Amino acid sequence: MPEPLRVGVLVSGTGSNLQALIDACRAGAIPAEVVLVISNVPKAFALERARAGGIPAVVVDHRAHSTRAAFEAALKEALDAHRVQLICLAGFLRILSAEFVATFAGRIMNIHPALLPAFGGKGMYGERVHRAVLASGARESGCTVHFVTAEPDGGPIITRATVPVEAQDTPATLAARVAREEHRLYPLAVRWFAEGRFRLEGDRVAILSPEGAAFASEPR
């Protein structure tokens, strides 16, 4: 058996996606292990989840660093110390520099609570996303897992899941429906990564079947 993929999760908040990743790894659903959780917010509940799971939980507070370069150097030091192979952003509310992203090129994923490329970019996070979706009159929303580049929410899309927008939805009810899909989709994307089933073709991601054939649509 190969060693499980070593995953580091970067968080700023509640950590329900972190929990989904921890649970999927522990259940043996993906050949991966969450070996480190880093929060830039000292009080983030996600840190409690990590500790409850016996996973090293580190605070790297951006406010304690005078420059973004110093903050990112501290992130890198922790990630390297735990030999992290894949970084999963899960509600991490800092934008990473082009330099940091280049250091981990093709090894940083993010999950976004809408169907990118719509409703993404700087300032589009949390409830703001669901408010914008509702204001637009869209009939569908969902979530997107993508590789991280220097452009916020702009990297190659790995996979998306769709949910209906109901007439009586509030940002909270829509967020809850999207979150259920997030918790299914993020572990699936990490599984594909751990199984080496991605091929980056320019800014497109092809997902390979277990036999190595590229899928036009999503395999399960």
Say which residues have a Cβ less than 8 Å from residue 34's Cβ, sequence separation at least 6.
7, 8, 9, 18, 21, 22, 25, 50, 53, 55
Separation CA 77–CA 73 (nearest Å)? 6
Question: Which residue lies nearer to ligand GRF by CB, 14 or 97?
Answer: 14
Alpha helices in the chain (DSSP H): 16-26, 45-52, 68-81, 98-103, 127-136, 171-194
- Residue 217's SS3 state is coil
Give min distance, CB of 208 to ligand GRF, in A. Answer: 25
Give min distance, CB of 67 to ligand GRF, in A. Answer: 24
90 part of the interface to ligand GRF, by CB under 6 A: yes
Q: Which of 62, 65, 82, 112 is catalytic?
A: 112
Question: Which residue lies nearer to ligand GRF by CB, 8 or 15?
Answer: 15
Say which residues have a Cβ less than 8 Å from residue 68's Cβ, sequence separation at least 6.
62, 97
Give min distance, CB of 91 to ligand GRF, in A. Answer: 3
Give min distance, CB of 121 to ligand GRF, in A. Answer: 13
15 part of the interface to ligand GRF, by CB under 6 A: yes
41 part of the interface to ligand GRF, by CB under 6 A: no
Q: How many residues does the chain have?
A: 220
146 noted as active-site residue: no
Give residues in contact with ligand GRF (CB under 6 A). Answer: 13-18, 90-91, 111-113, 143, 182
Catalytic center residues: 112
